[in-house]
């Protein structure tokens, strides 16, 4: 049976029955890989996520080849992990050629999640007879970096771009991740109760009904919205994250945007000083 015929049969079975029946004849790698990607598109998975899956599967091919559904086994998965862990990437260390460093376990885990997704889909389709066990690699905890009162104040007052400045304030007050801050919509802001409604936290895949913030943060949002009245987009902060402007802000205080989330500590931790730091800084601003 030709690859095109197999793909047509698989697609018809998925549409009609919701699952695929296992075939006695092997299904080539390229065929079930293409069908897996197509299935993701039919489920309206974001193209950026699909691109990551395709990159992982391309890496898998370069390491273990293109096994068919009957050849794919735990041994090949283990080989992929062993080789992938030794891969290196180039980082900028100020030199002309850069520096090669070993990729982190977190990067390998992203690939493993994509491989696991393929296997789970294949099992639903009754493609694989082999049993698989895929465990994520242990990762080292990133050091906590909490900005001081002085650093937060310098960052807020030294940032001239109003969009980035408001994003920094929201991150410090709410602890939201960068992508979640820039995904906020105007309609989610509740000035009366000083909170944000139905906030989608993409990384942990959950929706939080209410995230409270101080009146000072609400005032800053109100000030920004009044200044940008009539903005065509329904998003609170226009466009995407301003990387170039953030690089300029980092010259004021050397930190990552994620450090603002840790600093937020603040309102939720309650035990540290960071809860009152932003209020003290903004009350007279």
CATH code where residue 27 lies: 1.10.150
Confidence of residue 80 (pLDDT cuts 50, 70, 90): very high
What are the tokens at 126?
């009754």
Judge contact between 114 and 53, C-beta under 8 A.
yes
Flag whether 132 is in a domain.
Answer: no
Q: Are residues 157 and 254 in the same domain?
A: yes
Q: Are residues 110 and 199 in the same domain?
A: no
Q: Are residues 120 and 165 in the same domain?
A: no
CATH of the domain at 232: 1.10.443.10
Q: Are residues 188 and 88 in the same domain?
A: no
Tracing tokens 């009245």 back to the chain, one arrives at: 229
Specify the higher pLDDT residue, 266 or 30: 30
Q: Are residues 107 and 222 in the same domain?
A: no
Q: How far apart are CA 243 and CA 249, in angstroms?
A: 10
Flag whether 46 is in a domain.
Answer: yes
The average pLDDT across 72-79 equals 91
**pLDDT reported for residue 66:** 94
Q: What secondary structure, in 3-state letters, does the chain show?
A: CCHHHHHHHHHHHHHHHCCCCCCCCCCCHHHHHHHHHHHHHHCCCCHHHHHHHHHHHHHHHHHHCCCCCCCCCHHHHHHHHHHHCCCEEEECCCCCCCEEEECCHHHHHHHHHHHHHHHHHHHHCCCCCCCCCCCCCCCCCCCCCCCCHHHHHHHHHHCCCHHHHHHHHHHHHHCCCHHHHHCCEHHHEECCCCEEEEEEECCCCEEEEEEECCHHHHHHHHHHHHHCCCCCCCECCCCCCCHHHHHHHCCCCCCCHHHHHHHCCHHHHCCCHHHCHHHHHHCCC
Q: Are residues 94 and 164 in the same domain?
A: no
Percent of the chain with pLDDT over 70: 80
Q: Which of 58, 89, 124 is the last residue of a domain?
A: 124
Give the domain range for residue 201.
Answer: 149-282
What are the tokens at 258?
């994620």
Note the Cα 208 to chain centre separation in Å. 17
Q: Are residues 97 and 172 in the same domain?
A: no
Q: Are residues 24 and 116 in the same domain?
A: yes
Flag whether 144 is in a domain.
Answer: no
For the ranges 16-30, 198-212, 239-253, which has the lowest average pLDDT? Answer: 16-30
| pLDDT tens, position by position, 178-205 | 888 998 999 999 999 988 988 877 776 7
Flag whether 134 is in a domain.
Answer: no
Q: How far apart are CA 248 and CA 145, in angstroms?
A: 20
Flag whether 41 is in a domain.
Answer: yes
| pLDDT tens, position by position, 86-114 | 998 887 766 777 788 888 888 899 999 99
Flag whether 9 is in a domain.
Answer: yes
Q: Are residues 105 and 157 in the same domain?
A: no
Indicate whether this model's pTM tops 0.75: no
Q: Are residues 86 and 172 in the same domain?
A: no
Q: Are residues 205 and 277 in the same domain?
A: yes
Specify the higher pLDDT residue, 67 or 140: 67
HSE (side-chain half, CA atoms, 13 Å) at 11 = 16
Terminal Cα-to-Cα distance of the chain (whole angstroms) = 73
Q: Does residue 278 surpass a pLDDT of 50?
A: no
HSE (side-chain half, CA atoms, 13 Å) at 221 = 28
Flag whether 256 is in a domain.
Answer: yes
How far, in Å, are 21, 39, 58, 83, 88 from residue 103 at the CA level? 39, 30, 17, 11, 5
Q: Are residues 115 and 207 in the same domain?
A: no
Q: Which of 124, 139, 174 is the last residue of a domain?
A: 124
Decide: residue 31, CB within 10 A, 0-12 exposed, 13-18 middle, 19+ buried: buried
- Number of other residues whose CB lies within 10 A of the CB of residue 235: 14
For the ranges 31-35, 126-130, 165-169, which has the lowest average pLDDT? Answer: 126-130
Number of domain units in the chain: 2
């Amino acid at each position: 049976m030709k690859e095109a015929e197999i793909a047509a049969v698989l697609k018809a079975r998925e549409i009609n029955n919701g699952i695929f029946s296992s075939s006695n004849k092997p299904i080539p790698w390229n065929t079930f890989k293409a069908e897996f990607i197509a299935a993701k598109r039919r489920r309206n998975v974001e193209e950026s996520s699909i691109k990551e899956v395709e990159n992982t599967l391309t890496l898998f091919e370069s390491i273990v080849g293109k096994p068919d559904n009957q050849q794919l086994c735990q041994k090949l998965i283990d080989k992929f992990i062993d080789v992938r862990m030794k891969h290196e990437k180039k980082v900028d260390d100020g030199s002309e050629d850069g520096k090669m460093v070993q990729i982190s376990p977190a990067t390998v885990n992203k690939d493993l999640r994509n491989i696991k997704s393929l296997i789970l889909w294949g099992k639903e389709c009754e493609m694989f007879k082999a049993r698989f066990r895929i465990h994520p690699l242990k990762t080292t905890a990133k050091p906590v970096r909490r900005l001081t009162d002085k650093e937060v104040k310098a960052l807020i007052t030294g940032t001239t771009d109003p969009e980035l400045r408001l994003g920094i304030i929201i991150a410090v007050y709410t602890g939201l991740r960068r992508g979640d801050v820039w995904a906020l919509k105007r309609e989610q802001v509740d000035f009366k109760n000083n909170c944000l409604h139905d906030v989608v936290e993409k990384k942990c895949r959950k929706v939080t009904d209410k995230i409270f913030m101080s009146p000072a943060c609400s005032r800053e949002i109100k000030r920004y919205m009044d200044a940008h009245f009539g903005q065509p987009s329904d998003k609170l902060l226009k466009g995407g994250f301003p990387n170039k402007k953030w690089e300029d802000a980092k010259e004021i205080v050397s930190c990552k945007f994620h450090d603002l989330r840790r600093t937020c500590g603040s309102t939720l931790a309650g035990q540290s000083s960071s809860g009152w730091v932003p209020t003290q800084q903004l009350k007279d601003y």
